[in-house]
Amino acid sequence: GATIELEGLTKQYPGSALPAVDNVTMDFKEGETVILVGPSGCGKSTLLKMINRLIEPTAGRIRIGGEDVTDMDPVRLRRKIGYAIQASGLFPHMTVAQNIALVPKMLRWPSARVRARVEEMLDLVGLDPGEFHGRYPRQLSGGQQQRVGVARALAADPPVLLMDEPFGAVDPITRDHLQDELIRLQRELHKTIVFVTHDFDEAIKLGDRIAVLRERSHIAQFDTPEAILTN
Ligand code: ADP
Ligand code: ADP
């Protein structure tokens, strides 16, 4: 894992009267899982997208492992950050293997290493490589797609994993199973994980710390699940 430090992070979308994310300063510790909870529209996705540089902050700085990445080349940032989203975000015209290989290829890993890594990632998320390698996303169940989404996010072994409601689109039983798998992965891999959900039970189950956000991502509480439950 690596520390993540946000300092005065702000996003005002063009044409909006108010910022979607307003002057957020918070730190995530190396190897911890922080859950962001808060009402729809409070800026959780915007916050993650800024950290992943899918959108540019209006103001503020982002540091990962002590290094200022606010202006880092997005391809270099892929070494540091894996990103998994709701409904997996897989490319429908690419096979499972091609989807997982995306970031390692972008980083110009040698092809033998990419191939080995794809198999390793499928094993890691509990999918038989022989069976799933060549399938297309539409040939997978929702839960299997989410697993591939997590495998893709982890493929280049980034120290940081950003997850935006990754289990939001699967049935409750599959979700429960995927949550257990994530807890197992976290014990093995020690990533720094920032995980967005609107499901408070999920937050309590997965979080080392929980940030409860209000409108414009103002921080109402940022503490352990135990402390939040007793407050
Ligand atoms: P959350 O993930 O907490 O539901 P979002 O980050 O998606 O919140 O949205 C925060 C606010 O920013 C909302 O008011 C939303 O309407 C607005 N917003 C999100 N994306 C855009 C965009 N591309 N352009 C303009 N406004 C946006
Ligand atoms: P675009 O902006 O053209 O969609 P991106 O390079 O931003 O292209 O993302 C391409 C795909 O890679 C998207 O589906 C996205 O979900 C995924 N992705 C984005 N950032 C990361 C990351 N850090 N690690 C893994 N996958 C990512």
pLDDT on residue 168: 83
CB of 85 sitting under 6 A from ligand 2: yes
For residue 217, which ligand has an atom nearest its CA?
Answer: 1
In this prediction the ipTM stands at 0.73
Can you tell me which atom of ligand 1 is nearest the CA of 55?
A: 23
pLDDT on residue 171: 85
pLDDT on residue 197: 94
Residue-wise over 33-71: b if at least 16 C-beta within 10 A, else e?
bbbbbbeeebbbbbbbbbbbbeeebbebebbbeeeebbe
Determine the distance separating the centroid of ligand 1 and the alpha carbon of 170, expressed in angstroms.
Answer: 23
pLDDT on residue 70: 95
pLDDT in tens, 87-132: 778 999 999 999 999 999 999 999 999 999 999 999 988 999 999 9
Determine the distance separating the centroid of ligand 2 and the alpha carbon of 16, expressed in angstroms.
Answer: 25
pTM exceeding the 0.95 threshold for the entire prediction: no
User: Residue 144: is it exposed, middle or buried by C-beta count within 10 angstroms (0-12/13-18/19+)?
Assistant: buried
* For ligand 1, mutation pick of 10, 16, 86, 199 (most atoms within 8 Å of CB): 16
